[in-house]
Amino acid sequence: MTNNQVIISTVNGLPNPDPNPSWGSGGHGLITYTAEGYMSATLATTDPSYIPQNLTFPAREGQSIEDWALVGKHTLFYAGHFSINETFPSDKRSGQLLHGPIMVASVASLIGGFMKREYEVVYDKRGKIEFFKLTLRGNNGYVNVLMWKKLA
């Protein structure tokens, strides 16, 4: 199992101060890949204005739907299979991953679908993995890059 933590986010080559309304001033998360071909991604905002301090889990009587909606709007998780896209030039250093079919997600429209993520493995001077870079290329030239640091 490989666990990675997001540490750097950029959009169109610039630091990501707040171009993504989901994460606000900063996001964090974990992404896990297993040798059996499964993956799980969890991302959430670190922006205190999107994290109501009065909420508990499980939810209690009197906690507003609006506060819970705010949390949901600024959190994303999904899990399912993953594979290397064989129609995209790929090797152990770079290529394209397919996350999917998605089996469970915080956003129902993702379930059953696939997400394409270009990957690049960045090694340190000793040849050990330092970062795992995932790039999402969206519509209208939008490019979002997440740098994940290997944890285990």
What secondary structure, in 3-state letters, does 16-55 show?
CCCCCCCCCCCEEEEEEECCCCEEEEEEEECCHHHCCCCC
Domain boundaries, the chain: 2-150
At 63 the pLDDT is: 96
What is the model's pTM?
0.79
List the structure tokens of 139. Answer: 């519509």
Q: pLDDT per residue over 73-124, tens digit each? A: 889 899 999 999 999 999 889 999 999 999 999 999 999 999 999 999 988 8
Give the mean pLDDT of 116-137.
87
User: Domain 2-150 is in which class?
Assistant: mainly beta
**Lowest mean pLDDT, pick from 19-28, 114-123, 133-142:** 19-28
Say which residues have a Cβ less than 8 Å from residue 143's Cβ, sequence separation at least 6.
Answer: 11, 12, 13, 135, 136, 137
| pLDDT tens digits for range 34-70 | 999 999 999 888 888 888 999 999 999 999 999 999 9
